[in-house]
């Protein structure tokens, strides 16, 4: 495989020309788009997948991206700062500085530990009013429709796919325990890491229509996560933390037997009530359990933290997509 997408090569050459002319910011962005688009297509990952004619320039582009990632991150949302002024994005700048470890900025509440990206100066609250989102009322009023489709597909399938995606040294026992015969956390996904499951939408057309009308957190290859989430009888989700406080988790409980609860450790328990929304910040340590002999079923979804402005949401989306995309270039160690 010794080719490359035509557009990626054009962007690579454009980057070299911009760098030669002294436009280092433009060059860096052209290199970034060139390398990441090529690698998404399976090129420029090693010497065999890199054209001989461009090998040296590809190596140079990757080195530029790695060494100047800070500039790349700030540049990713600079157009929004130009449009709305630096004050509107001051908190995003602070969040990025914290991510880069240029400043020491962590939650004041020790019970909150985002595993990936912390956005400062948001209310450090574990449970939030779900109706801070204007669409929450319509979602709650759709309870009966959603419940009917959820219970139908659950009855048809009996088992959904495992919610957990484990790699490396991780094991199911690190996340799921319990006293049941087969404790497990399963899901019927409408979206996972931002990817749409068209077949599942087709199986639940009314729920799909409702979901597609919601203003949810959408970040390429990351969010939203939307599913019918099932805790089998006797399942205990062990204490864990979420990845970032820019998005919260919304639950619409659909089938709730006795002896089920969501527990934010050190804060309190929440006992789901069918049809009653609950929204929480999963970067606070939390666990959940179903100690009954029936399945617990909820509609689970990602949503924006309502205390972010529209401008901040746009900048965060671009920034997190840029950070994630940069990891593709970081994989190309054999090229460099």
Pairing of strands 296-304, 260-264: unpaired
203 and 281 assigned to the same domain: yes
Say what the pLDDT of residue 336 is: 39
The CB-side HSE value for 94 (13 A sphere, CA atoms) comes to: 14
Residue whose C-alpha is closest to residue 281's, from 118, 97, 164: 118
Distance CA 320, CA 302 (A): 15
Residue whose C-alpha is closest to residue 160's, from 197, 195, 193, 207: 197
- Residue 129 CB partners (closer than 8 Å, separation 6+): 279
Say what the pLDDT of residue 167 is: 60
Say what the pLDDT of residue 328 is: 53
- Residue 191 CB partners (closer than 8 Å, separation 6+): 197, 223, 224, 225, 226, 227
Say what the pLDDT of residue 166 is: 58
89 and 2 assigned to the same domain: yes
Distance CA 46, CA 39 (A): 10
244 and 327 assigned to the same domain: no
113 and 134 assigned to the same domain: no
Compute the chain's Rg from CA coordinates: 22
222 and 108 assigned to the same domain: no
Say what the pLDDT of residue 326 is: 73
Distance CA 96, CA 76 (A): 11
Give the single-character DSSP code of 284.
B
Say what the pLDDT of residue 169 is: 61
Residue 233 belongs to a domain with what CATH number? 2.60.120.330
327 and 191 assigned to the same domain: no
- Residue 77 CB partners (closer than 8 Å, separation 6+): 89, 92, 314, 315, 318, 319
Question: Range of 160's domain?
Answer: 127-304
150 and 88 assigned to the same domain: no
Query: How far lies 281's CA from each of 25, 49, 163, in Å?
Result: 36, 43, 19
- Return the bridge partners of 259, or none: none
22 and 99 assigned to the same domain: yes
CB atoms within 10 A of CB 150: 22
Say what the pLDDT of residue 180 is: 77
User: In terms of C-beta density within 10 A (0-12 exposed, 13-18 middle, 19 or more buried), how is residue 132 classed?
Assistant: middle
214 and 282 assigned to the same domain: yes
Say what the pLDDT of residue 332 is: 46
User: In terms of C-beta density within 10 A (0-12 exposed, 13-18 middle, 19 or more buried), how is residue 153 classed?
Assistant: middle
152 and 278 assigned to the same domain: yes
Task: Please answer whether residues 41 and 9 qualify as being in contact, where contact means their C-beta atoms are separated by less than 8 angstroms.
Answer: no
pLDDT digits (tens, 9 = 90+) for 291-325: 999 999 999 999 999 999 999 999 999 999 998 87
CB atoms within 10 A of CB 44: 29
196 and 154 assigned to the same domain: yes
For 96-118, give the DSSP string: HHHHTTSS----SSTTB--SSB-
243 and 324 assigned to the same domain: no
Instruction: Indicate the number of domains in the chain.
Output: 2
Coil, strand or helix at 236 = strand
One pLDDT digit (tens) per residue for the chain, 336 residues: 455 678 899 999 999 998 899 887 788 888 888 887 888 788 888 888 888 888 999 999 888 887 788 888 999 999 999 999 999 999 999 999 999 989 999 999 999 999 999 999 999 999 999 999 999 999 999 999 999 999 999 999 877 888 877 565 666 677 888 887 788 899 999 999 999 999 999 999 999 999 999 999 999 989 999 999 999 999 999 999 999 999 999 999 999 999 999 999 999 999 999 999 999 999 999 999 999 999 999 999 999 999 999 999 999 999 999 988 776 545 543 443
- Is the full-model pTM beyond 0.85? no
């Amino acid at each position: 495989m010794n080719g490359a997408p035509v557009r990626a090569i054009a962007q690579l050459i454009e980057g070299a020309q911009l760098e030669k002319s002294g436009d280092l910011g433009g060059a860096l962005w052209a290199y970034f788009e060139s390398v990441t688009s090529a690698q998404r297509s399976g090129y420029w990952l090693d010497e065999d997948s890199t054209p001989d004619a461009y090998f040296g320039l590809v190596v140079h582009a990757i080195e530029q991206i790695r060494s100047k990632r800070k500039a790349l991150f700030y540049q990713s949302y600079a157009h929004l700062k130009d449009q709305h002024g630096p004050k509107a994005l001051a908190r995003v700048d602070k969040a990025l500085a914290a991510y880069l470890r240029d400043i020491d900025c962590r939650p004041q509440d020790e019970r909150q530990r985002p595993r990936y990206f912390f956005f400062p100066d948001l209310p450090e609250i574990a449970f939030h009013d779900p109706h801070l989102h204007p669409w929450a009322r319509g979602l709650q009023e759709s309870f009966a429709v959603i419940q009917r489709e959820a219970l139908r597909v659950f009855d048809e399938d009996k088992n959904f796919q495992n919610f957990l995606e484990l790699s490396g040294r991780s094991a199911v026992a690190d996340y799921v325990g319990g006293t049941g015969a087969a404790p497990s956390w399963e899901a019927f996904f409408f979206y996972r890491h931002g990817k749409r499951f068209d077949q599942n939408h087709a199986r639940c057309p009314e729920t799909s229509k409702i979901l597609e009308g919601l203003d949810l957190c959408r970040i390429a290859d990351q969010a939203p996560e939307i599913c019918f989430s099932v805790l089998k009888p006797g399942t205990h989700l062990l204490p864990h933390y979420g990845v970032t406080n820019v998005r919260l988790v919304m639950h619409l409980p659909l089938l709730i037997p006795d002896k089920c609860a969501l527990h934010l450790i050190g804060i309190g328990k929440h006992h789901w009530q069918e049809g009653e929304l609950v929204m929480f910040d999963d970067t606070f340590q939390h666990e959940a359990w179903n100690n009954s002999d029936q399945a617990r079923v909820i509609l689970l979804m990602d949503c924006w933290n309502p205390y972010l402005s529209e401008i901040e949401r746009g900048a965060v989306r671009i920034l997190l997509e840029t950070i994630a995309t940069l990891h593709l270039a970081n994989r190309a160690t054999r090229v460099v």
